[in-house]
A = this chain, B = another copy of it.
Amino acid sequence: MAPHPFRTLDVEETRVARDVILSLHSDVVVDFREIYLQEPEKAKMKAYLDLEHSSTPGQSPNGKRPPRLAKCQYDIIGLDKIPEYHESIVDVELKKRVSHEVVSKDKQASLTLWEFQILIEACKKSEMFQKAMAELKLPEGFELVVEPWPYGGLDLGAENRRYFQGLCFAQDTRSGNADSNFYAYPLPIIPIMDAHKREIVRIDRLATGGKGDSLTGKTHSERIIDHCQTSEYVPELVELRKDLKPINITQPEGTSFKVTDESLIEWQKWRFRVSFNPREGAVLHDVHYDCRSIIYRLSFSEMTVPYADPRPPFHRKQAFDFGDGGAGNCANNLSLGCDCLGVIKYFDGVVVGSDGIPQTHPNVICLHEQDNGIGWKHTNWRTGRAVVTRNRELVVQFIITLANYEYVFAYIFRQNGDLTVEVRATGIVSVVNIDPGKISDYGNVVSGGVLAQNHQHIFCVRVDPAIDGHKNTVMYEESHAAPWDRATNPNGNFYEVRKTTVNRSGGLDAAPQHNRVFKIINSSKRNLVSGNPVAYKFTPPPTQKLLAAPGSIQAQRALFANHHVWVTKYKDNELYAAGRFTLQSQQEVDGVHDMAKRNDGVVDEDIVIWNSFGLTHNPRVEDWPVMPVDIFHVNFRPADFFTANPAIDVPSGKNNSSVLVGKDCCKTEQKL
């Protein structure tokens, strides 16, 4: 059977695409970056899905099947010149290239992880860097660790060459443990590499002062980490608590979900596809409940993490973790019994090396069910009869590591029709060296000599809705106090619900003071009970927007963070909130801000909704050495989409494995 059009490209398809590209560029050296599924044009896909949803299960409407396309990203390496970055699209069934673009030199391709390795080698080879390191006296047993980072926003006027920066730390090697936490020993230099030359071209010196010190002056002694302290987190280096007893989660009858063709997931009336790509990680497609369409595509589109320390060059600490390096590329190989409990289904991705040879990227997505407390309950106090159901959830999760930080991304489905997007921020906060005894306005001292700099995380979720079809409209509803009025509000208790339709593409904000709720409606379809148009709604988290000064490089390259909600008209390939190229960008180009600027009509159109939310993170000491998860939710809920609570049919049976606590509280007493 032919793969479903939304299914992740497999190893064989990827290899075909590679071979086609190599055959077309047989006279030059090709360095691959990525090869992954180019999703079908929506017009073709709609025709296919219409047939699929109306046809017999198991039978594909192959007559309408869009071609299987691979997006191939690669450098053409010439002698002594800057590599040319190409993007080609290959039809892997016809083994034929269908499009080809030589990307303009003012754009930087997303980085690959092997570019990080080049930086580390360049540091080793660089005399300039070795000299700078020699100025710092490390205690015996400490060794340099270079942590490669994207270069951040290119300063205005700077030549647009490809750079990487290395944050430097020292690792205590005396324990012999390769996972001893080197972030506890930050060094105040940043080597800058020209990626094409593969050479360190500059060493940035970091100020280590505190309150009252200048932004640039050198204040540290050469004994640069003598005041720093060990801060371990790997269990063999920590004294662990001993009183935690296991909680086991078992599913003796198996799961309630079913996975077909490694892409189709069916669970509790939900039906959707999942795919994985190097930029966005896990993406959901064609989400239905009870055979009714809700979402065409759902993804984490972008995030930016700007740092607020004004001392140069810290303004260039600003990562775009999806556009710069690829969330999918940085996805963890998930582990049974650690990243989730119960009965787990893992999905693999495919990655290519610079030679284009595809490899399985194992366990990049996990799928599992979980119990989230009470789902609904009512007790009839007359009869004493309580009916209580559990809130079962299905979780599609992936986790990424970006140098020091990690993010746990999840799509959570519920029986009641809710679909929640969750982000958990964890990992190690980014730190720099601060002189002994000093404190700073730019962050918090979280360990001896270690300043955790203030920063923000701003995420953007892209929702391509299909509420009972593709022609949708966004409106927002607010609740407003009403004037006390003899005729209309005689007792002053009335409040008015105001509805506003979003007519043109643009950006909008959260307004919790008015209980502003956004509804994605299908105006052509009315709820049979209420008469309202069928809808899904969400309340954008009213989190703080980007704080960098308007016009600054940090702000200009993250215009998507200027509004909580954007509504744009759908166009194929418009997937990325901060634009297609973020690495070293000085400005968001073709991001959601530009899409919105078209001022398209968005009433009863194929629309896309973007939700930006985040966290202003002024670190606590408790965020050190690894921060406890900070959890964010955006909940999409049916609002007059169904004709009743869709979870009303969830069985309310007792779970018979629960037991009463025993007398000593550590043994169980009685099985029910």
Given known contacts A245-B256, A549-B484, A654-B338, A310 and B269 CB-to-CB distance under 8 angstroms: no
- A626 close to B308 (CB less than 8 A): no
> Whole-angstrom distance between the alpha carbons of A428 and B644 in the complex?
12
A530 contacts B by Cβ under 8 Å: yes
Interface membership of chain A positions 631-653, coded 1 if the CB is closer than 8 angstroms to chain B and 0 otherwise: 00000011111111111111110
Q: Is the CB of A622 within 8 A of B649?
A: no
Size range of the interface on A?
35 or more
- Give the distance in Å from the alpha carbon of A548 to the alpha carbon of B652 in the complex: 38
* CB atoms of B672 and A337 under 8 A apart: yes
Q: Mark A420-454, 1 if CB is under 8 A from B, else 0.
A: 00001011100000000001011011111000001
The answer to whether A252 and B256 touch (CB under 8 A), given A336-B660, A477-B618, A642-B622, is no
- Contact check, A657 vs B250: say whether CB atoms are below 8 A apart: yes
Are A626 and B652 touching (Cβ within 8 A)? no
A336's contact among B243, B308, B392, B659, by CB below 8 Å, is which?
B659
Tell me if A661 is interfacial: C-beta within 8 Å of chain B. Answer: yes
Query: Which residue, of A178, A250, A543, has the highest number of chain B Cβ atoms within 10 A?
Result: A250
Q: Would you call A73 an interface residue if the criterion is a C-beta within 8 Å of the partner chain's C-beta atoms?
A: no
Question: Which of A234, A253, A494, A545: most chain B CB closer than 10 A?
Answer: A494
Is A568 part of the binding interface, using a Cβ–Cβ cutoff of 8 Å? no
The answer to whether B661 and A644 have CB atoms under 8 Å apart is no
Q: Is the CB of B654 within 8 A of A337?
A: yes
**CB interface residues, A 314-348, toward B, < 8 Å:** 314-315, 318, 332, 335-346
Residues of B within 8 A of A527 (CB): 621
One digit per residue, 1 when the CB lies within 8 angstroms of any chain B CB and 0 when it does not, for chain A 584-595 equals 000000000000
Say how far A113's CB is from chain B's closest CB, in angstroms.
8
Q: Which residues of B contact A142 (CB under 8 A)?
A: none
A308 touching B495 in the complex, CB below 8 Å, given contacts A515-B616, A616-B479? yes
Query: SS class of chain A's interface: helix, strand, loop or mixed?
Result: loop
Contacts of A442 in B (CB 8 A): 494
> Which of A82-90, A277-285, A383-391 is near enough to bind chain B?
A383-391
- Known contacts A215-B490, A243-B268, A629-B376; A343/B446 CB under 8 A: no
Q: Is A103 in contact with chain B by the CB < 8 A criterion?
A: no
Instruction: Take A387-B235, A645-B624 as given contacts and tell me if A493 and B651 are in contact as well, using a CB distance cutoff of 8 Å.
Output: no
Decide if A644 touches B665 in the complex (CB within 8 Å): no
CA distance A141 to B426 in the complex (A): 60
- CB of A547 within 8 A of CB of B345, answer no
In the complex where A315-B493, A377-B626, A530-B621 touch, is A248 in contact with B657 (Cβ < 8 A)? Answer: yes
Q: Which of A57-79 contact B (CB under 8 A)?
A: none
A644 contacts B622, C-beta separation under 8 Å:
yes
A310-B494, A497-B441, A649-B239 are known contacts. Are A336 and B256 too (CB-CB below 8 A)? no
Selected contact of A553 from candidates B343, B377, B416, B491, CB within 8 Å: B491
Q: Contact: A651 with B385, CB < 8 Å?
A: no
- Return chain B residues, CB-CB under 8 Å to A649: 238-241
Assuming the contacts A247-B371, A481-B549, A655-B248, asked whether A233 and B648 have C-beta atoms less than 8 A apart, the reply is yes
Give Cα A376 to B339, complex, Å: 10
Check: A554 CB closer than 8 A to any chain B CB: yes
Which residue of B241, B338, B637 is within 8 Å of A620 (Cβ)? B637
Q: Which of B370, B379, B666 contacts A254, CB < 8 Å? A: B666
- Across the interface, name the chain B residue whose C-beta is closest to A152: B493
A450 CB, min distance to chain B CBs, angstroms: 9
Question: Is A249 engaged at the interface, CB distance under 8 Å to the other chain?
Answer: yes
Least distance between A372 CB and chain B CB atoms (Å): 9
* Contact A310:B665 (CB < 8 A) given known A248-B657, A388-B339: no
Cα distance, A662 to B408, chains bound together (Å): 25
Cβ of A369 under 8 Å from chain B: yes
Nearest CB on B from A360, distance (A): 16
Q: Which of A7-15, A200-208, A398-406 faces chain B?
A: A398-406
A382 at the interface (CB under 8 A from B): yes
Q: Find chain B residues with CB under 8 A from A543 CB.
A: 512, 515
Residues A381 and B403 in contact, CB atoms below 8 Å apart: yes
Q: 1/0 contact trace for A483-512 toward B, CB 8 Å?
A: 110011111111111000000000000101
Does A555 make an interface contact (CB < 8 A)?
yes
The verdict on A513 contacting chain B, using a C-beta distance below 8 Å, is yes
CA distance A241 to B427 in the complex (A): 40
Interface membership of A217, Cβ < 8 A? no
Q: How far is the CA of A529 from the CA of B444 in the complex (A)?
A: 9
Nearest CB of chain B from residue A506's CB, rounded to whole Å: 19
Beta-carbon contacts of A527-549 to B below 8 Å, as 1s and 0s? 10111100001000011110111
Query: Is there an interface contact between A622 and B639, defined as CB atoms closer than 8 Å?
Result: yes
Is the Cβ of B547 less than 8 Å from the Cβ of A479? yes
A376 to chain B, nearest CB (A): 5
**Min CB–CB distance A312 → chain B (angstroms):** 7
B residues in contact with A454, CB < 8 Å? 479, 495, 497
A380 at the binding interface (Cβ < 8 Å): yes
| A442 CB to nearest chain B CB (Å) | 7
- Which residues of B have CB within 8 Å of A645? 622-628
* A661-B245 in contact (CB<8A): no
B658 close to A337 (CB less than 8 A): yes
Is A378 at the interface (CB under 8 A from chain B)? yes
Could you tell me if A665 and B258 are in contact, using CB atoms closer than 8 angstroms?
yes
B381 & A401 in contact (Cβ 8 Å cutoff) = yes
Given contacts A385-B234, A490-B312, A665-B254, contact A374 B629 (CB under 8 A): yes
A375 within 8 A of B: yes
* A134 interface residue per 8 A CB criterion: no
The answer, yes or no, to whether A309 is at the interface (CB within 8 Å) is yes
- Tell me which residues across on chain B come within 8 A of A446, comparing CB atoms: 529-530
A375 partner residues in chain B, CB cutoff 8 A: 628-629
CB distance from A17 to the nearest CB of B (A): 27
Of B255, B399, B417, B616, which is within 8 A of A245 by CB? B255
- In the complex formed, the residue of B with least CB distance to A335 is B386
Interface residues of A in 206-242 (CB under 8 A from B): 215, 231, 233-235, 238-241
Query: Is B492 within 8 A of A549, CB to CB?
Result: yes
Ranked nearest first, the 4 interchain pairs of A and B with the lowest CB-CB distance are A492-B552, A492-B549, A315-B491, A310-B494
